[in-house]
A = this chain, B = another copy of it.
Amino acid sequence: MKEILGGAGFGLDFDLVTGLCPRKASTKRYLSGVKSIFLHPEQAEERLKKEDPLVYEFYELEMIQDPGDLAFGTSIVHPGRVGGEYFMTKGHFHSVLATAEVYLCLRGKGMMMMESPEGDWDCQELYPGRAVYVPKRLAHRSINVGEEPLVTFFTFRAEAGHDYGTIERQGFRKLVMERGGRPEVVDNPRWKDGGGDGL
């Protein structure tokens, strides 16, 4: 029901419960591939002797990346913990740093951890119906602090790109750990200023 060939509208179906898009393969991050993001990777190693659980998955849709465009998809962080730290995404800055992102939580219970290059930080709760605005310049990471999948729908400016390297080198300044059955924001004892490479 369309007459446009170039630049047409299009739609994609997502399951509002699982967060999955039936006709697209998600990008999957198993514990073996992301063990180093946790404060206690040795605990991840222990678990990997028995199993390699899926930590999170998301969609990298092939979008137009021209100015004026947007990119969108879903992210599913599965429930679990490693050494008292909740399953979470790697987290990233945008390559074009000054670009924002909007998340709408569809299912589950989580937290969005954010921090600026200068060390300012914020942590916002995620629960169904909660929309969280990630302002430009802030690295961000989704953390599942509940017992079911944390499903969010995200939209960002298509030119934003992803800078995973900075966080891979230096980590986030704050972590969310389970303490007495509840999530608590704590300082990251392994945080490295400039990623330890003298920058």
Q: Is the CB of B153 within 8 A of A104?
A: yes
The answer to whether A4 and B116 have CB atoms under 8 Å apart is yes
Residues in B with CB closer than 8 Å to A104 are: 14, 72, 104, 153
Q: Are A133 and B68 in contact (CB under 8 A)?
A: no
Residues on B with beta carbons closer than 8 Å to the beta carbon of A114: 9
Give the size of the chain A interface in residues (CB under 8 angstroms): 56
**Is B130 touching A13 in the complex (CB atoms < 8 A)?**
yes
The answer to the question of A57 belonging to the interface, with a C-beta cut-off of 8 Å to chain B, is no
Identify which of A78-86, A121-129, A163-171 touches chain B.
A121-129
Q: Which residue of the partner chain B has the closest CB to A10?
A: B133
Residues of chain A having any CB pair with chain B under 8 Å: 1-4, 7-16, 64, 67-70, 72, 96, 98-102, 104, 106, 112, 114, 116, 120-126, 128-138, 140, 153, 155-158, 185
